[in-house]
Amino acid sequence: MEWFESTQIAAYYLWEHSVYDNALDLWYCAEDIASHFEQANILDTAALNIIKEQGRGSDAYIWFVRHVAYRLYIYTNNDEALTNWFMAESLLESEEWLKNIFNMASILKNDSGSTLSQVRSDTVRFFYEGQTF
């Protein structure tokens, strides 16, 4: 239930920021972004702040925001790069959205395989199914 609730809230914030109306795409986007956070080992505010404190011009900041913006582009079909970039930066300032993305990333990090049955995104599920726990 925790996975479902966190994904639902994260997807809602994606809708609020993007005004994109396909709920399933936003759900997949939230799962994919959480997977990106988990793979980058960004599981809490302290880890994210290390990237943010390097400044907007740093390679680490650009790399991280670019990955979030790219997922926004893929799942919302918005081909405006600057809009996706600013949306990503705005989401990265949203404490409630981050709380849920961090929770999802932590669940993926600490999962023994049981969460995969709740993951709806084939992309995310296939990535984790290939790993041993």
Rounded Cα distance, 98 and 4, in Å: 15
Helix (H), strand (E), coil (C) string for the chain = CHHHHHHHHHHHHHHHHHCCCCHHHHHHHHHHHHHHHHHCCCCCHHHHHHHHCCCCCCHHHHHHHHHHHHHHHHHHCCCCHHHHHHHHHHHCCCHHHHHHHHHHHHHHHHCCCCHHHCCCCHHHHHHHHCCCC
Q: Within a 10 A sphere around the Cβ of 87, how many other Cβ atoms?
A: 20
Residue-level pLDDT at 133:
47
* Longest Cα–Cα distance in the chain: 39
By residue count, the chain amounts to: 133
Q: Tens digit of pLDDT per residue, the chain (133 long)?
A: 699 999 999 999 999 999 999 999 999 999 999 999 999 999 999 999 999 999 999 999 999 999 999 999 999 999 999 999 999 999 999 999 999 999 999 999 987 667 777 888 888 988 887 765 4
pLDDT at 79: 95
Note the pLDDT of residue 122.
84
- Each domain of the chain, given as residue ranges in start order, spans 2-122
Model pTM greater than 0.85?
A: yes
Contact by Cβ (8 Å): 47, 106 = no
pLDDT of residue 131: 67
Residue 95 CA to residue 109 CA, distance in Å, equals 20
Structure confidence at residue 127 (pLDDT):
86
pLDDT of residue 125: 87
